[in-house]
Amino acid sequence: MDKREKAKKVLDILEQEFPEAKSALEFKNPLELLIATILSAQATDKLVNRVTPELFKKYKSAKDYALAPIEEIERMIGSVNFFRNKARNIKACASRIAEVHNGKVPDKLEELTELPGVGRKTANIVLGNAFGKNALAVDTHVKRVAQRLGLTENDDPDRIEADLCKIIPPERWTRTTHLFIMHGRTTCKAASPKCETCPIKDYSVYYKTEYKRIRKG
Ligand code: SF4
């Protein structure tokens, strides 16, 4: 079975498993999602969702963040890991949006990735979820699931994104992110994947090789 066909079968099954899969971050507009996504690096979505309501109430526009004292932003996001770095990135990113993009979060990948602290993953999350564009974001779950299924041989997230985008039709890119994240969180866990009960084990290279080898050993 070629990778294109395998990806289709896997996504069809995961759609059945997780029809409700969507971003766990809470937001009402592109700016809120951008800020929440910056905060979510190496932090849980749950923690981010605890911090953002107060933040979003206080700062409503890119200019608000740009004008806010950095110490104030730091204090408001203080429970999130790397809060100092993140506060700096949020302020720098918002300043650029205010100055260069007239206060509006850009809806193009090239423009988003030019913002301070915004990489392809964050940009694709914003494009796919706040702008409804076709965008495949590769986080740690997407990377692990894609590798274990044998849909990519690469380790670099940008290359994995390119590999997946070659074999998955654009209209399924955003869903692929949500479905692989849900599958990675619930079944294909990093340390102990639940391979025996996995609904896509027939398509998993890891299951046929590593998992069976470990079980035998
Ligand atoms: S069989 Fe195991 S490794 Fe393969 S996708 Fe399922 S949970 Fe992940």
SS (H, E, C) 189-207: CCCCCCHHHCCCHHHCHHH
pLDDT at 217: 64
Q: What is the average pLDDT value for the chain, to the nearest integer? A: 96
Give the integer Cα–Cα distance in Å for 151 and 2: 9
Q: Is the pLDDT of residue 204 over 70?
A: yes
**What CATH number does domain 3-21+137-216 carry, 3.30.70.20, 2.30.30.100, 1.10.1670.10, 3.20.20.210?**
1.10.1670.10
Ligand 1 within 6 A of CB of 10: no
Q: Select from 9, 14, 148 the residue to mutate for testing ligand 1; criterion: most ligand atoms less than 8 Å from CB.
A: 148
Ligand 1 within 6 A of CB of 188: yes
Q: How is the chain split into domains, by residue range?
A: 3-21+137-216, 30-129
Contact 173, 134 (CB under 8 A): yes
Question: Region 29-41: what's the mean pLDDT?
Answer: 97
DSSP characters for 88-125? HHHHHHHHHHHHHSTTS---SHHHHTTSTT--HHHHHH
Contact 11, 172 (CB under 8 A): yes
Residue among 139, 143, 208, 216 flagged as catalytic: 139
Percent of the chain predicted with pLDDT > 90:
94
pLDDT at 1: 81
Q: Is the pLDDT of residue 164 over 70?
A: yes
Q: Label residues 59-71 b or e (16+ Cβ within 10 Å = b).
A: beebeebbebeee
pLDDT at 9: 98
pLDDT at 215: 74
- Reply yes or no on whether 156 is catalytic: no
Ligand 1 within 6 A of CB of 195: yes
- Reply yes or no on whether 201 is catalytic: no
Residue owning tokens 């740009």: 66
pLDDT at 212: 72
Q: In terms of CATH architecture, what is 30-129?
A: Orthogonal Bundle (1.10)
* Residue nearest atom 4 in ligand 1 by C-alpha distance: 204
